[in-house]
Amino acid sequence: MATPVKLTCRFYEARYPVVGSIVMAKVERIQDGAAFASLLEYNKIEAVIFFSNEDEVTVGRTSLFRVSKVTTDNLVIVLDRSPPSMQEIWSCERRFLKARHVHNVLFSVSEEQRINLKACFLIQLIEICWAIALVRQLEAYLKLNHCLPVDSYLSVQDLVNKAVDRKLLGADGSILSLTRLSKIIQEGLVENEVCPLTNRLDGGSERYSGSVHKVDKMKVIEEEYHIPDEFVAPEVLKQLKSAPVTCSVLLFPSYEKNLNRDIIYEPTTDEINAYKEDKHKGRNLDVHVMLCTGSGVDRRGKEYFEFQNSTGDVNAVDFGYVKFAQNPNTIIEYVVLKVVLKRNWMTA
């Protein structure tokens, strides 16, 4: 029997850590007055630690270090033993544990489903943000209405397959309007165990069978068409009281210079004025579908919505969550679900 190949990869998109960041490293050996450690988050690439006393470094110990130098041409990474602050320790440990969890899940999926590991990490190259957000909203809504066990999860792939079979998607997996998915959601989706997520857009929903979970009604509320722009934020806030809400959000060019920063994203005055004057309403703007999970106010009094970023990157922004200003409104549509007659799984 052939020995299985041990899969390895880094936790993040970036190949190397940035100078000044705090990393988790394991000291592997001491040699020629320096210690050599493996960076656990970066596929165990080697880094060097200079020290004045061997007692400061223990072989086999995993510790937090600050990155003081990164030279990518000959790959020299130098770590500093200056103690990080308590905030830096907490932030690094939290980031590491979350990233390791995602890493382990992807490895497990890759091995169990025999999917190429690279395909697992690149699964968002197909534009299925709409499917991820909508399925997560449906899950939450059904669980809150006691129509789905809390430890059950619905299949994103089932929604994608059914949309492909009905020729609702573009070649890259994108969809023009969430309204097209209403009938599928009302007919129901199987659970993830029956139809796990893959990196495929070839349809074949008839291959899967099992109990389906559905709602009686799905309605997509479009800004301007169904509701005036100024009422979108209050209505989304109202919907958040019952469950998370799938929203299509406009992405403005000025956001690019602040990517992956933990800020409240909002368009510039010129951008929002140009959008309002554009009779085609943002035809040239990108739209990202995300799950709105909450709202808040920052210390300057700026009201915002919090979204779960459906790219799956828990290391982006605030561990996978991103904030957008409520005013000016940049939500162009949102989804409302309704169960007319509750089907309680606990009493069925």
Which residue would you say has higher pLDDT here, 44 or 198?
44
Residue 116 pLDDT: 56
Shared domain for 294 and 152, answered yes or no, is yes
Residue 217 pLDDT: 92
Let me know: does 253 contact 284? Beta carbons within 8 Å. Answer: no
- What are the structure tokens assigned to 296, written together? 């808040």
Q: What are phi and psi of 115, to 5 degrees?
A: -100, 140
Taking the alpha carbons at both ends of the chain, their separation in whole angstroms is 48
Evaluate the omega torsion of the peptide bond into residue 228 and state whether it is cis, within 30 degrees of 0. no
Query: What DSSP designation does 169 have?
Result: S
Q: Rounded distance, CA 82 to CA 68, Å?
A: 10
Q: Rounded distance, CA 136 to CA 153, Å?
A: 8
**Pairing state of beta strands 217-222 and 264-265?**
unpaired
CA 133 distance to own-chain centroid: 10
Residue 333 has, within 13 A of its CA and on its CB side, a CA count of 20
Look over the chain and give the mean of its residue pLDDT values, rounded to a whole number: 81
Task: Give yes or no for residue 122 having a pLDDT over 60.
Answer: no
Shared domain for 116 and 156, answered yes or no, is no
pLDDT digits (tens, 9 = 90+) for 41-87: 988 899 999 877 655 678 888 999 999 999 877 788 999 888 888 88
Q: Is 75 helix (H, G, I), strand (E, B) or coil?
A: coil
- List, as one string, the DSSP characters of 37-86: EEETTTTTEEEEEE-S-GGG--TT-EEEEEEEEEETTTTEEEEE-PPPPH
The answer to whether residue 344 is domain-embedded is: no
Shared domain for 134 and 264, answered yes or no, is yes
* 6-15, 68-77, 125-134, 252-261, range with the lowest pLDDT: 6-15
Q: Where do the H-state alpha helices sit in 114-211? A: 117-121, 129-144, 156-165, 182-187
The answer to whether residue 130 is domain-embedded is: yes
The answer to whether residue 347 is domain-embedded is: no
Which residue would you say has higher pLDDT here, 279 or 188?
188
The answer to whether residue 39 is domain-embedded is: yes
- What are the structure tokens assigned to 243, written together? 């469950």
The answer to whether residue 348 is domain-embedded is: no
- Whichever domain contains 83, its CATH number is 2.40.50.140
Closest CA to 267 of 224, 330, 321: 330
Q: Rounded distance, CA 45 to CA 23, Å?
A: 12
27 DSSP β-pair partners: 37
Shared domain for 77 and 157, answered yes or no, is no
Query: What DSSP designation does 261 have?
Result: -
- Whichever domain contains 129, its CATH number is 3.90.70.10
Task: Give yes or no for residue 89 having a pLDDT over 80.
Answer: yes
Q: Rounded distance, CA 120 to CA 152, Å?
A: 21
Q: Say how many domains are in the chain.
A: 2
Domain final residue, candidates 86, 121, 156? 121
Give residue 203's domain range: 123-338
| pTM passes above 0.75 | no
Average pLDDT score over residue span 227-247: 91
